[in-house]
Amino acid sequence: ENGVRGLVPLGTTGESPTISEDERKRIIETVISEAKKVLVIPGTGTNSTEKTIKHSKQAEELGASAVLIVSPYYNKPTQEGLYKHFKAVNDAISIPIIVYNIQGRTGVNIETPTLARIAQLENVVAVKEASGSIAQMMDVIDQLPEFTVLSGDDNMTLPLMAVGGRGVISVVSNLLPRLVSEMVQFALQADFDSARELHYKLMPIFKGAFIETNPIPIKTAMRMSGMPAGHCRLPLCDMQPQNEEKLKAILKNYQQLKIIA
């Protein structure tokens, strides 16, 4: 209802590393059954190629529109290993794949030449870019002009779209879907004055959503706003009291604007 075009269950914000196999199936089935008119793109990436294939096949069988596959974390594959990982998943399924590059959580950056190879795989259609480097993102857009580059960092969405990015897989849209959607739509229409106005309106919560490890702050903000977000699972824990107070102060501005309850 607020302009979101797709839902991404079982991503970082969905705490996918702590989800059981039974829960995984139930979550995908529930989101698909409720999300009648939008894309459903479950996160299926792990640090095991075999397990990633298994999760991706399950998502395809359950009717997912596409899958989001984070680069393998902890085991730190080489660039060749990254390519072979994505190729193995590509060859095992027939639905679209969005590559997720987030070096801060995985320990390895998907370098642009490697992404260019991965982008040639039949089912790979986009990258969620959260490398933190606008220079790298511009290289990708410059070298792969037909490839869809999405922001994986709310703070970087507008700068990325100004140089050719096509949207965002967002954390803050869980709380403020309409504002994030409108900002993206303005940017897609090249109305950067309107997009910039919303960007700066959203800046405090863009920052606040990362004062502790995601998804601790966004789930806390959602609970504060009356949304049934629940608490995080260990090893993630509740927000530190001093940060909770900072988050409350940020949310007051949006409540006064009647953007959230």
CB 34 within 8 A of CB 63: no
Catalytic residues: 100, 128
**Structure-token pair, residue 139:** 């290289």
Q: Which residues contact 98 (CB under 8 A, 6 or more apart)?
A: 41, 66, 67, 68, 69, 124, 125, 126, 127, 128, 150, 169
Distance CA 53, CA 58 (A): 8
Distance CA 18, CA 232 (A): 10
Strands (E), 56-168: 67-70, 97-101, 124-129, 148-151
CB 169 within 8 A of CB 11: yes
Phi-psi region at 258: left, alpha or beta (left = phi > 0; alpha = psi -120 to 50): left
CB 34 within 8 A of CB 17: no
Instruction: Please tell me the number of Cα atoms within 13 Å of 171 on its side-chain side.
Output: 27
Q: How many CB atoms lie within 10 A of CB 158?
A: 24
